[in-house]
A = this chain, B = another copy of it.
Protein backbone atom coordinates (compact mmCIF):
# COMPACT_ATOMS: atom_id res chain seq x y z
CA UNK A 1 0.00 0.00 0.00
CA UNK A 2 1.36 3.41 -0.93
CA UNK A 3 1.95 5.95 1.83
CA UNK A 4 -0.94 8.14 2.89
CA UNK A 5 0.30 11.30 1.23
CA UNK A 6 0.49 9.55 -2.14
CA UNK A 7 -2.99 8.12 -1.74
CA UNK A 8 -4.38 11.55 -0.96
CA UNK A 9 -2.50 13.05 -3.90
CA UNK A 10 -3.82 10.31 -6.19
CA UNK A 11 -7.42 10.96 -5.15
CA UNK A 12 -7.12 14.68 -5.68
CA UNK A 13 -5.29 14.16 -8.97
CA UNK A 14 -8.06 11.92 -10.25
CA UNK A 15 -10.70 14.41 -9.27
CA UNK A 16 -8.85 17.16 -11.13
CA UNK A 17 -8.21 15.14 -14.27
CA UNK A 18 -11.72 13.76 -14.36
CA UNK A 19 -13.08 17.28 -14.26
CA UNK A 20 -14.68 17.02 -10.82
CA UNK A 21 -12.59 20.11 -10.11
CA UNK A 22 -12.51 22.54 -13.02
CA UNK A 23 -9.92 25.15 -13.90
CA UNK A 24 -9.85 27.83 -11.24
CA UNK A 25 -11.69 25.75 -8.66
CA UNK A 26 -10.42 25.69 -5.11
CA UNK A 27 -9.39 22.40 -3.58
CA UNK A 28 -10.55 21.83 0.01
CA UNK A 29 -8.43 23.83 2.46
CA UNK A 30 -5.54 22.18 4.25
CA UNK A 31 -7.60 22.12 7.43
CA UNK A 32 -10.47 20.45 5.65
CA UNK A 33 -8.20 17.80 4.14
CA UNK A 34 -6.69 17.14 7.58
CA UNK A 35 -10.17 16.49 8.96
CA UNK A 36 -11.43 14.51 5.97
CA UNK A 37 -8.48 12.15 5.85
CA UNK A 38 -7.60 12.25 9.52
CA UNK A 39 -3.96 13.16 8.93
CA UNK A 40 -1.59 15.86 10.09
CA UNK A 41 -1.02 19.08 8.25
CA UNK A 42 2.45 17.86 7.30
CA UNK A 43 0.96 14.96 5.41
CA UNK A 44 -1.49 17.21 3.61
CA UNK A 45 1.40 19.43 2.56
CA UNK A 46 3.37 16.46 1.25
CA UNK A 47 0.38 15.37 -0.81
CA UNK A 48 -0.41 18.75 -2.29
CA UNK A 49 3.27 19.45 -2.92
CA UNK A 50 3.18 16.57 -5.42
CA UNK A 51 0.31 18.23 -7.27
CA UNK A 52 2.13 21.56 -7.29
CA UNK A 53 5.18 19.84 -8.78
CA UNK A 54 3.02 18.25 -11.42
CA UNK A 55 1.73 21.65 -12.38
CA UNK A 56 -1.86 20.72 -11.56
CA UNK A 57 -2.49 23.29 -8.83
CA UNK A 58 -1.04 26.50 -7.48
CA UNK A 59 -1.20 27.68 -3.91
CA UNK A 60 -2.43 31.17 -3.09
CA UNK A 61 -2.22 32.53 0.45
CA UNK A 62 -4.79 34.84 1.90
CA UNK A 63 -8.37 35.17 2.95
CA UNK A 64 -9.83 34.10 -0.37
CA UNK A 65 -6.80 32.12 -1.47
CA UNK A 66 -6.46 28.38 -1.43
CA UNK A 67 -5.19 25.71 -3.75
CA UNK A 68 -6.39 26.50 -7.25
CA UNK A 69 -6.59 24.18 -10.23
CA UNK A 70 -4.34 25.64 -12.88
CA UNK A 71 -5.42 26.53 -16.39
CA UNK A 72 -4.22 24.21 -19.11
CA UNK A 73 -4.14 26.87 -21.84
CA UNK A 74 -2.11 25.63 -24.77
CA UNK A 75 -0.47 27.70 -27.45
CA UNK A 76 0.90 26.36 -30.69
CA UNK A 77 4.11 27.53 -32.30
CA UNK A 78 4.69 26.40 -35.89
CA UNK A 79 8.44 26.04 -36.00
CA UNK A 80 8.69 24.96 -39.62
CA UNK A 81 6.32 27.66 -40.82
CA UNK A 82 7.83 30.82 -39.40
CA UNK A 83 10.63 32.17 -41.58
CA UNK A 84 11.05 28.88 -43.46
CA UNK A 85 11.87 28.16 -46.20
CA UNK A 86 10.69 30.87 -48.63
CA UNK A 87 8.27 32.67 -46.31
CA UNK A 88 10.85 35.12 -45.03
CA UNK A 89 8.60 37.32 -43.02
CA UNK A 90 9.49 38.64 -39.59
CA UNK A 91 9.31 35.98 -36.93
CA UNK A 92 7.76 38.35 -34.41
CA UNK A 93 4.97 39.10 -36.88
CA UNK A 94 4.50 35.39 -37.41
CA UNK A 95 4.25 34.92 -33.67
CA UNK A 96 1.75 37.76 -33.25
CA UNK A 97 -0.36 36.28 -36.00
CA UNK A 98 -0.33 32.81 -34.55
CA UNK A 99 -1.32 33.96 -31.09
CA UNK A 100 -4.13 36.15 -32.37
CA UNK A 101 -5.36 33.38 -34.64
CA UNK A 102 -5.70 31.26 -31.52
CA UNK A 103 -7.79 33.94 -29.86
CA UNK A 104 -5.29 35.39 -27.41
CA UNK A 105 -3.74 38.79 -26.86
CA UNK A 106 0.00 38.96 -27.68
CA UNK A 107 2.51 41.54 -26.49
CA UNK A 108 6.30 41.64 -26.26
CA UNK A 109 9.20 43.50 -24.72
CA UNK A 110 12.66 44.04 -26.23
CA UNK A 111 16.14 44.44 -24.85
CA UNK A 112 19.51 44.66 -26.56
CA UNK A 113 22.98 44.39 -25.14
CA UNK A 114 26.47 43.09 -25.75
CA UNK A 115 27.34 39.99 -23.76
CA UNK A 116 29.80 37.13 -23.72
CA UNK A 117 28.79 34.01 -25.59
CA UNK A 118 28.36 30.92 -23.42
CA UNK A 119 30.62 28.12 -24.58
CA UNK A 120 27.81 25.92 -25.80
CA UNK A 121 26.40 28.62 -28.07
CA UNK A 122 29.79 29.84 -29.24
CA UNK A 123 30.47 26.39 -30.60
CA UNK A 124 27.33 26.51 -32.68
CA UNK A 125 28.35 29.84 -34.15
CA UNK A 126 31.87 28.65 -34.79
CA UNK A 127 33.48 31.37 -32.71
CA UNK A 128 35.50 31.31 -29.52
CA UNK A 129 33.79 30.88 -26.17
CA UNK A 130 33.33 34.06 -24.11
CA UNK A 131 33.80 36.25 -27.16
CA UNK A 132 31.44 39.22 -27.20
CA UNK A 133 28.26 39.04 -29.23
CA UNK A 134 25.10 41.02 -29.82
CA UNK A 135 22.25 39.72 -27.69
CA UNK A 136 18.66 40.60 -28.47
CA UNK A 137 16.21 39.48 -25.82
CA UNK A 138 12.48 39.33 -26.41
CA UNK A 139 9.97 38.49 -23.70
CA UNK A 140 6.65 37.46 -25.18
CA UNK A 141 3.41 37.63 -23.29
CA UNK A 142 0.00 36.11 -23.91
CA UNK A 143 -2.95 37.77 -22.21
CA UNK A 144 -0.43 39.64 -20.10
CA UNK A 145 1.19 36.45 -18.79
CA UNK A 146 4.84 35.87 -19.74
CA UNK A 147 4.83 32.94 -22.12
CA UNK A 148 8.27 32.65 -23.67
CA UNK A 149 11.70 34.20 -23.51
CA UNK A 150 13.88 34.43 -26.59
CA UNK A 151 17.56 35.29 -26.64
CA UNK A 152 19.11 35.71 -30.07
CA UNK A 153 22.89 35.99 -30.37
CA UNK A 154 24.78 37.50 -33.32
CA UNK A 155 28.57 37.25 -33.66
CA UNK A 156 30.27 40.61 -33.11
CA UNK A 157 31.79 40.87 -36.57
CA UNK A 158 28.35 40.43 -38.09
CA UNK A 159 26.98 43.22 -35.91
CA UNK A 160 29.66 45.48 -37.33
CA UNK A 161 28.63 44.69 -40.88
CA UNK A 162 24.95 45.10 -40.05
CA UNK A 163 24.86 47.78 -37.33
CA UNK A 164 21.06 47.83 -37.18
CA UNK A 165 21.34 44.60 -35.23
CA UNK A 166 22.52 46.71 -32.31
CA UNK A 167 19.36 48.80 -32.31
CA UNK A 168 17.61 48.58 -28.96
CA UNK A 169 14.20 48.55 -30.61
CA UNK A 170 12.26 46.09 -32.65
CA UNK A 171 13.42 45.85 -36.25
CA UNK A 172 10.33 46.37 -38.40
CA UNK A 173 11.10 44.04 -41.26
CA UNK A 174 12.54 41.44 -38.91
CA UNK A 175 16.15 40.55 -38.38
CA UNK A 176 16.03 37.57 -40.70
CA UNK A 177 14.97 39.68 -43.67
CA UNK A 178 17.37 42.44 -42.68
CA UNK A 179 20.25 39.99 -42.74
CA UNK A 180 19.09 38.57 -46.06
CA UNK A 181 19.09 42.08 -47.55
CA UNK A 182 22.67 42.56 -46.40
CA UNK A 183 23.91 39.39 -48.01
CA UNK A 184 23.26 36.85 -45.26
CA UNK A 185 20.22 34.78 -46.21
CA UNK A 186 19.52 31.75 -44.07
CA UNK A 187 18.70 28.85 -46.36
CA UNK A 188 19.03 26.35 -43.55
CA UNK A 189 18.43 26.19 -39.82
CA UNK A 190 19.05 23.54 -37.22
CA UNK A 191 16.70 23.21 -34.26
CA UNK A 192 17.30 21.48 -30.99
CA UNK A 193 14.58 20.83 -28.42
CA UNK A 194 14.88 19.63 -24.86
CA UNK A 195 12.57 19.49 -21.87
CA UNK A 196 14.15 20.73 -18.66
CA UNK A 197 13.42 22.29 -15.34
CA UNK A 198 13.92 26.03 -15.54
CA UNK A 199 16.95 27.87 -14.19
CA UNK A 200 16.15 30.34 -11.39
CA UNK A 201 16.48 33.19 -13.91
CA UNK A 202 13.75 31.69 -16.06
CA UNK A 203 11.47 31.14 -13.10
CA UNK A 204 11.66 34.82 -12.35
CA UNK A 205 11.35 36.18 -15.90
CA UNK A 206 8.53 33.88 -16.90
CA UNK A 207 6.83 34.04 -13.51
CA UNK A 208 6.75 30.24 -13.33
CA UNK A 209 5.07 28.29 -10.58
CA UNK A 210 7.16 25.61 -8.90
CA UNK A 211 7.06 22.37 -10.81
CA UNK A 212 6.61 23.92 -14.24
CA UNK A 213 8.98 22.46 -16.82
CA UNK A 214 10.15 24.45 -19.84
CA UNK A 215 10.85 23.56 -23.42
CA UNK A 216 14.23 24.91 -24.50
CA UNK A 217 14.22 25.51 -28.24
CA UNK A 218 17.55 26.39 -29.86
CA UNK A 219 17.64 27.47 -33.50
CA UNK A 220 20.90 28.01 -35.34
CA UNK A 221 20.58 29.93 -38.62
CA UNK A 222 23.10 29.26 -41.40
CA UNK A 223 24.04 31.53 -44.27
CA UNK A 224 25.72 29.71 -47.16
CA UNK A 225 29.10 30.84 -45.89
CA UNK A 226 28.67 30.63 -42.13
CA UNK A 227 26.28 30.41 -39.16
CA UNK A 228 24.87 33.85 -38.48
CA UNK A 229 22.82 33.59 -35.34
CA UNK A 230 21.57 31.29 -32.63
CA UNK A 231 18.26 31.82 -30.85
CA UNK A 232 17.39 30.19 -27.54
CA UNK A 233 13.70 30.26 -26.76
CA UNK A 234 12.46 29.12 -23.37
CA UNK A 235 8.80 28.15 -23.60
CA UNK A 236 6.87 27.83 -20.38
CA UNK A 237 5.73 24.22 -20.29
CA UNK A 238 2.01 23.54 -20.28
CA UNK A 239 1.48 26.82 -22.09
CA UNK A 240 3.22 26.04 -25.34
CA UNK A 241 3.75 23.39 -27.89
CA UNK A 242 5.98 23.45 -30.93
CA UNK A 243 4.79 22.00 -34.25
CA UNK A 244 6.76 20.90 -37.29
CA UNK A 245 5.43 19.96 -40.68
CA UNK A 246 7.82 17.81 -42.69
CA UNK A 247 7.45 16.69 -46.27
CA UNK A 248 4.63 17.61 -48.60
CA UNK A 249 2.51 20.08 -46.66
CA UNK A 250 -0.25 19.87 -49.27
CA UNK A 251 -0.99 16.32 -48.23
CA UNK A 252 -1.79 17.50 -44.73
CA UNK A 253 -3.73 20.56 -45.89
CA UNK A 254 -5.90 18.39 -48.14
CA UNK A 255 -6.77 16.17 -45.23
CA UNK A 256 -7.66 19.13 -43.01
CA UNK A 257 -9.91 20.61 -45.66
CA UNK A 258 -11.59 17.29 -46.22
CA UNK A 259 -12.76 17.16 -42.64
Q: Which A residues are closer than 8 A to B by beta carbons?
A: 10, 13, 49, 53-55, 74, 79-80, 84-85, 126, 186-197, 200, 210-211, 213-215, 222-224, 226-227, 235, 237-238, 240-252, 255, 259
Question: Nearest-CB distance from A235 to chain B (Å)?
Answer: 7
Contacting pair B246 A210 (CB below 8 A): no
Residues of B within 8 A of A55 (CB): 196-197
Residues of B within 8 A of A188 (CB): 245-252
Contacting pair B190 A245 (CB below 8 A): yes
Q: How far is the CA of A210 from the CA of B54 in the complex (A)?
A: 10
Q: Say how many copies of this protein the assembly contains.
A: 2
> Nearest chain-B residue to A241 (Cβ)?
B194
Residues of B within 8 A of A84 (CB): 246-247
Residues of B within 8 A of A227 (CB): 255
Q: Interface majority SS on A: helix, strand, loop or mixed?
A: mixed
Q: How far is the CA of A218 from the CA of B206 in the complex (A)?
A: 26
Question: Nearest-CB distance from A179 to chain B (Å)?
Answer: 14
Additional A-B contact list (5), CB under 8 Å, known A187-B248, A188-B248, A222-B255: A80-B244, A85-B246, A188-B252, A191-B244, A191-B245
Q: How far is the CA of A178 from the CA of B186 in the complex (A)?
A: 36
Contacting pair A215 B195 (CB below 8 A): yes
Contacting pair B244 A244 (CB below 8 A): yes
Contacting pair B222 A252 (CB below 8 A): yes
Across the A-B interface, give the 4 residue pairs with the lowest CB-CB distance, nearest first.
Answer: A213-B213, A188-B247, A195-B195, A195-B215
